[in-house]
Amino acid sequence: MNKRKFARVFTMALLAALAAPLMYGVLELPPPGQADAPAHSNVSAGYIEHGAELAGSENLVTGVLLNFRALDTFGEVLVIFTAWLAVSAVAGKGSETGHDSTPPSPVVDYVVRLLGPFIAIFALFVIVNGHVLPGGGFQGGVLLGAMLILLSLALGRESVADLVPVRSWIWLRAAGVLAFSLVALLGLPMTGYLFGLPIEPALRHALMIVLELGIGIGGGAVLAGLYFAIAGVESS
Amino acid sequence: MTVVSSLASHIDYLVAVSLFLTGAWILLTSGNLVKKVIGLNIMETSVFAFIVTTGMVDEGAPPLVAAGLQGPFASPLPHALVLTGIVVAVSVTSLALVLILRIKAELGSVELDEIALAPKADDSAGQSNQRGSADE
Amino acid sequence: MPELVDIRPLLAVLASLLCAGAVFTVRQSARWRAFWSLAAAGIKFALVWSMLPGALAGRVYVYQFGELLPGVAFGFRVDALGLFFALVSSTLWIVTTVYALAYMRGSHSLPRFFGFFALCISTTVGIAFAENLLTLFVFYELLTVCTYPLIMHNEDLAARRAGRKYLIYTLSGGGLILAGMIVLYFTTGTLSLAETGILEEAIGRSWLLAIFLLLIAGFGVKAALMPLHAWLPAAMVAPTPVSALLHAVAVVKAGVFGILRTIYNVFGIDLLRDLGYADWLAVLAGTVIVIASVNALRQKHIKARLAWSTISQLSYIVLAAALLTPLAALAAIIHIANQAFSKITMFFVAGAIERGTGKKRVDELAGVGRQMPWTMAAFTVASLSFMGVPLFAGFVTKWYLSLGALQAGEGIYVGVMVISGLLNASYWLPMIYLAFFRPPQTHGQDASPKPARVSPMMVVPILICAAYVILLGAGASAPAMPFSLAEAAVRFAFELKVPLE
Amino acid sequence: MSEWPHWLPLLAVLPLLGGVLTPLLFRRRPVIPCFWAVAVALVTAAVAVMLLLRLIDSGDFSYAVGGWLPQYGIELRFDQIGAFALPASLLVMLALVFSRHYVARTVDPEKISYYYALVLINLGGLNGFLVTGDLFNLFVFMEIFSVSAYALVAMARQPIAALAALKYLLLGALSSLLVLFSVGVVFAMTGTLNIEDAAVLLEGSSSMPAGLALAGLATGFAVKAALFPVHFWLPDAHAAAPAPVSAILSALVVKAGVAGLLRTLELFGGGESLYLQPLLSLMLWLGALGTLGGALMALVQRDIKLMLAYSTIANIGYIFIGLGLATTSAVGGAMVHAVNHAVMKSALFLAAGAMIHQTGLRNIDDLRGLGRRMPATAFGMAFTLVALSGVPPMAGFVGKWQIALGALEAGQPLPVAVLVLAGLVVLAFGVRMINALYFRPPARVSTVSSVEAPVSMWLPVLILAVASLALGLAGSSMLEFVAPAVQAIYGTPP
């Protein structure tokens, strides 16, 4: 029908008109990779020179995330929790297709049971070593979530959902936000600024671990929660 | 700086922008809602790719300032931004998928033109045409 | 012109607000409703008349409160012109309230009727006392909002259609005034109506023309100038007290009052003389007088004929104002009172005839004079006044208007006066003749016409108004009469120190 | 007390934390979340008042989050645009009071605590968005209030709510990506994310990337603010959403788009850069088209909430006309109109919600004769409709008068005609509604049998109706309050 064809032609023209200035504008930007480009000489240079000792973590990205731009990460953790809140608020009567598919073959079942704990340990390692090695709360949280989803696929959703009572599932999901709020409010007496981490390295290190754990566990629980909502569980 | 060399040096940005446009095309023209969400994800990936490349340095090492490592470090800021962006993308996509599930359950189909054709399932429309025309 | 800060203008406006509040709350009891309406009418009448001696002595009462917008305050300023208009409307309000209480007995949703009835008058007095164009605009729009439920009172299809037509016309008129005000504020930085002309030549001809057209067209809608008049005949479906008060006094007079303010206070006489816009307005008003009178001839219903006669009488005022001479200005201001009292008498008579004999058409009037002698006598007085017969109010206006026209060197308008006098005669006299000298069509009843039972509370207001028409005509130059107030207003507008002649 | 510096971050963190705690503490109880949410909103409003007092006596002030220097850490800045957080918090508080009975019937019992959590998170995201001085932080807070807005729209039970929410989500996500892309471009050009520093570095640069970033940000925020060509998500979303949510959406979330646009104009210099002039005139004419189109569409609507949604598009058109004209009085008028419209539109949506809640009917012709049955709600709606049309001493007039004045100062007479015409059309559909409420006999059995809405529903409507008159009278003081912000953004008027 010509209405659809007209819509396609119109969008084609619109995108073509959009492409020209986009391409030309992007070409005018300083080429990526140049060391003296403003992206590197300005704030990033400051981070690289004395970011490590100021933020207390060799992995500057974690330093930026947890210390310099803590409000961003607080907003971030909040968006995850809001996503889960929104999904459970909006989910309909739970799709009826929630019946368990045929139980997996024993080989898959056995391998998953064997690998489960190892994935958990690896996830914990990634979370805790966020300030030294590449990694951190978010990446660890994703691993944790993946593990939970893998287990629920293999062992059935109800068994994983019942691992933890429903009431505490919510507290787990809000772990990230709670951890950050705790650190933020602690920041007031210690550093005189909200979201400020203290200067003493040991205390700062401990608080960063708390933050990383909060983000990791919170992220994992939310991802599992999203999967359950989509798969139709937990609509009790 | 001839045109070709400026094109070559900015190839990363150009790829990102073209990916952005393909994602936009899928989002705007496809009738299937799931395809629209896929288009949205393509656009998100392209924007994150663009931001990360702004922080890239030739032969740059990742921003881990451990004792041994040296050499030009990539700037850590874009990486932090993209991490946050990815999480936002996950939240928006999951909400979209759940909405699609609900639309499928309640309106019966995921194709936009099928939904438009199906009679309005809710009662408010039924009520208005059954009543006589207003004598305005 | 000593400015006295005085609370009375504000109290005058608020007087009928308290009545409206009281009427809305006391739901069903007619006695309380009558009491509150009359009490508020009395208070307002007393307040307005108490300011008359001060105004005659040249004092101006000012009351300012709150700055609504940077440079534009919200306040009242009682000058001679404003007080004159307020006098007319507050006096007539008492008479109409008495009449309405009798006429509307037994009708539905009376609290709403009398509540909005009172609100209309408070807004009319608000328009009269407005210190600047913004305050005037506020009450102007509120007047539209308050009259809407009155026109819709019968809630049938005709009333709804008339209401919608009324709204479309008056609200678009309001839109035009708003645009004019914005341009005025942009060019002059003030909206005050205290001076005799805040615009000057330097602003530029295009802006001046824009302001003039917007304001005159905006106010012209409610002043029923010809192309914008269609809502007035249509609004006759409203109950008679509404048509009497609103379409003879409050609503249309607000429009004409706006035009007077624009000519005397926004533009000023000398600026308008150089610009020459007023001559076009005079030509328009002249043609409207003639066409409306011809149209009145063709109307079959009494109230429709009255409506068309109102349209032509309003253009008397516009014509007189547009001649820009002191005597014509006096005629304009005086005609507000003359036309109000004469036209309201006629509306009351029409209402009485309708209530007494159920007759609505002109040709059914045969023998009504014998049935309702006093009512028809008042009708005759009012129609004589419109015809311009000496010793009646209408004559005074025509006399000064003709003098003003000669003073302005525009002899043709004297001709217009004569023609309109003849036309008036040609559509009032047949009605009087039918009423008095023709026996009623007796379709099978006994020969002698039984006197139609009309409650005294309707006849008394009719007689009071008729008496006033005679008083205005004969005793024009008496000391405490509004005539001298009109002279004061003209002296202020023309900055004359010596009395007029 | 108002000197304590830490109120600024708490303005955003408090509602967010309160929102997150709602499902945690009161998962099963249907009533306590409402009181909790109203309390949190009240506390936030109190914080906003403290900040406002400090702003009035000592001008703009900023707060370095975490104690870092502005370039390295995030800097929150409180100025006149941030002061919009006070009316926002009060409006959300009134909407929450309204939703006590409304939500109890339209949302399943176990999801009630989620509803209140999402509303508080929306408020927190909005407050954060208004006060942040950092570009990327702007994006994050925008995402927070957008995700919660998508979910709130979809919480209504009808199936079209899900479809409307999805359309809103897709377009909202598209606009967020445009904003993120422009943030990336600005970072690539200047290396910093702080708005003030970036503005200094970008000073008047008319290079192509600057134009690209400006276009991206402007389009993104225009979609969020439902400017004319990209407004089609708004009517379905507002009509399908529960009444308090459409009130919050129309009054606040749409205005966040406008605030975002003001931030971008701040970023790109006081109107000297080459690309700003075409953008301003584009905003002007799109706004004019939006005003007329929205008002006319509102006139022909049958469903009451659709009518109000289209009138929001018309009023957004007003605001963009004011911004496009770029003269001091026009922009001041636009900002003041944003606040006034928020108050009026939330009153109207809450009143419409109360009527739908009591009678179950949405069609205007079915709501005839409600004036007698629901006197308070009907009076609130009628009063605010008159205010919305811009009759003087009421709130609608201030913005319209100033924008028209600004139009003349900018030498453009046409927007004056558009404003007056749109005002008339708005008055027309207002009178149609009043006509239906008061002057028409009831047409449906449920209007005859309906009784006045509970106090928690009509009281907020009346409070907002009275506020719409008070704001009209306080017009000139609000204009003086807004003037410094206009000076900062537009520099010397062109």
3-state secondary structure of D418: helix
Identify whether residues C340 and C290 lie together within a single domain. Answer: yes
D407-419 CB burial, b ≥16 within 10 A, e <16: bbebebbebbebb
Half-sphere exposure of D38 (CA within 13 A, CB side): 13
Within 125-184 of A, beta carbons closer than 8 Å to B belong to: 132-134, 138
Max alpha carbon distance in chain C (Å)? 76
Q: Which residues of B touch D140 (CB under 8 A)?
A: 84, 88
Q: Does residue B31 fall inside a structural domain?
A: yes
Q: Does residue C127 fall inside a structural domain?
A: yes
CA distance C467 to C313: 20
Within C116-228, strands assigned E span: none
pLDDT averages per 10-residue partition of chain D, 494 residues = 78 92 83 91 93 88 82 86 92 93 85 92 94 91 94 87 91 92 89 85 76 88 89 89 92 92 80 72 91 91 91 93 88 92 94 90 83 87 90 86 89 88 89 84 77 86 92 86 82 50
Within 42-101 of A, beta carbons closer than 8 Å to B belong to: 43-44, 47-48, 51-52, 58-61, 63-65, 69, 72-73, 75-76, 79-80, 82-83, 86-87, 90-93, 95
The answer to whether C200 and C271 are in contact (CB under 8 A) is yes
Task: Tell me the mean pLDDT in the region C216-221.
Answer: 91
Q: pTM of the predicted model, to two decimals?
A: 0.86
CB-based contact C178 D428, cutoff 8 Å = no
CA distance C371 to C353: 10
Q: Which residues of C touch D423 (CB under 8 A)?
A: 175, 178
Identify whether residues C254 and C337 lie together within a single domain. Answer: no
Least confident of A105-119, C69-83, D323-337: C69-83
Distances (CA, A) of A228 to A234, B3, D147, D198, D250: 7, 53, 20, 44, 33
Read off φ and ψ for residue D394, nearest 5 degrees. -105, 175
pLDDT reported for residue D194: 87
Within C400-467, strands assigned E span: none
The amino acid present at C169, given as its one-letter code, is: Y
CB-based contact A76 B84, cutoff 8 Å = yes
pLDDT reported for residue C446: 45
| More confident site: A160 or C291 | C291
* Banded pLDDT at C1 (limits 50, 70, 90): low
Side by side, the strands of the sheet bearing C60-69 are C3-5, C60-69, C72-78
| More confident site: C51 or C68 | C51
Question: What letter would DSSP give residue D84?
Answer: G
CB-based contact D169 B106, cutoff 8 Å = no
- pLDDT, tens only, B115-132: 766 554 443 333 333 333
Identify whether residues C258 and C293 lie together within a single domain. Answer: no
Interface test with D, best of B33, B34, B92 (most D CBs within 10 A): B92
pLDDT reported for residue C500: 55
Q: State which of C212, C240, C266 marks the end of a domain.
A: C266
Q: Does residue B92 fall inside a structural domain?
A: yes
CA distance B33 to D3: 52
Identify whether residues C158 and C300 lie together within a single domain. Answer: no
Identify whether residues C436 and C289 lie together within a single domain. Answer: yes
Neighbours of C44 (CB within 10 A): 27
Q: A129 is in which domain, residue-wise?
A: 59-231
Identify whether residues C189 and C125 lie together within a single domain. Answer: yes
Residue D45 CA, chain-centre distance (Å), reads 16
Q: Which residues of C touch D425 (CB under 8 A)?
A: none
Q: Does residue C446 fall inside a structural domain?
A: no
Q: B75 is in which domain, residue-wise?
A: 11-61+70-118
DSSP C43-57: HHHHHHHHHHHHHHT
Of A35, A47, A73, the CB nearest to B76: A47
Query: Nearest 5 degrees, angle CA D178-CA D184-CA D190?
Result: 135
- pLDDT, tens only, A1-49: 577 788 888 888 888 888 888 888 888 888 877 777 777 777 777 788 7
Q: Does residue B36 fall inside a structural domain?
A: yes
- Classify burial at C467, counting beta carbons within 10 Å of its beta carbon; exposed 0-12, middle 13-18, buried 19 or more: middle
| The total number of structural domains that make up chain A | 1
| The total number of structural domains that make up chain B | 1
In the block, residue with structure tokens 């054709």: B117
In the block, residue with structure tokens 């006094």: C249
Least confident of A100-104, B3-7, B18-22: A100-104
Interface test with C, best of D403, D429, D438 (most C CBs within 10 A): D438
3-state secondary structure of C434: helix
Is the predicted pLDDT of residue C447 greater than 60, yes or no? no
Q: Following CA atoms D290, D294, D295, D300 in sequence, which dihedral angle do they give, to the nearest 10 degrees?
A: 150
Is the predicted pLDDT of residue A104 greater than 80, yes or no? no
Identify whether residues C348 and C237 lie together within a single domain. Answer: no
pLDDT reported for residue D394: 86
The amino acid present at C337, given as its one-letter code, is: A
Determine what percent of chain B is predicted with pLDDT higher than 90: 33
Q: State which of C239, C266, C293 marks the end of a domain.
A: C266
Interface test with C, best of D327, D412, D424 (most C CBs within 10 A): D424
- Residue-averaged pLDDT of chain C: 82
The answer to whether C13 and C129 are in contact (CB under 8 A) is yes
3-state secondary structure of D303: strand
Q: Does residue B45 fall inside a structural domain?
A: yes
The answer to whether D456 and D100 are in contact (CB under 8 A) is yes
Q: Does residue B6 fall inside a structural domain?
A: no
Most confident of A104-118, C70-84, C404-418, D346-360: D346-360
- pLDDT, tens only, A51-87: 777 777 888 888 888 888 888 999 999 999 999 999 9
CA distance D491 to D489: 6
Q: Which residues partner with C69 through β-bridges?
A: C72
Q: Is the dihedral of CA D421, D427, D433, D438 positive or negative?
A: negative
CA distance C321 to C315: 10
In the block, residue with structure tokens 């967010």: D16
CATH number at residue B27: 1.10.287.3510
| More confident site: C57 or C380 | C380
Interchain CB contact of B18 with D (< 8 Å): no
Q: Take residue B130 and report the two structure tokens written for it.
A: 């059954």
Size of interface A-B (CB pairs under 8 A): 162
The answer to whether B95 and D169 are in contact (CB under 8 A) is yes
CB-based contact D424 C137, cutoff 8 Å = no
Q: Does residue B123 fall inside a structural domain?
A: no
CA distance A44 to A27: 22
Distances (CA, A) of A80 to A141, C160, C214, D20: 11, 56, 58, 11
D127-155 CB burial, b ≥16 within 10 A, e <16: bbbbbbbbbbbbbbbbbbbbbbbbbbbbb
pLDDT reported for residue B126: 36
CB-based contact C70 D476, cutoff 8 Å = yes
Determine what percent of chain A is predicted with pLDDT higher than 70: 92
Nearest CA in chain A to D113: A89
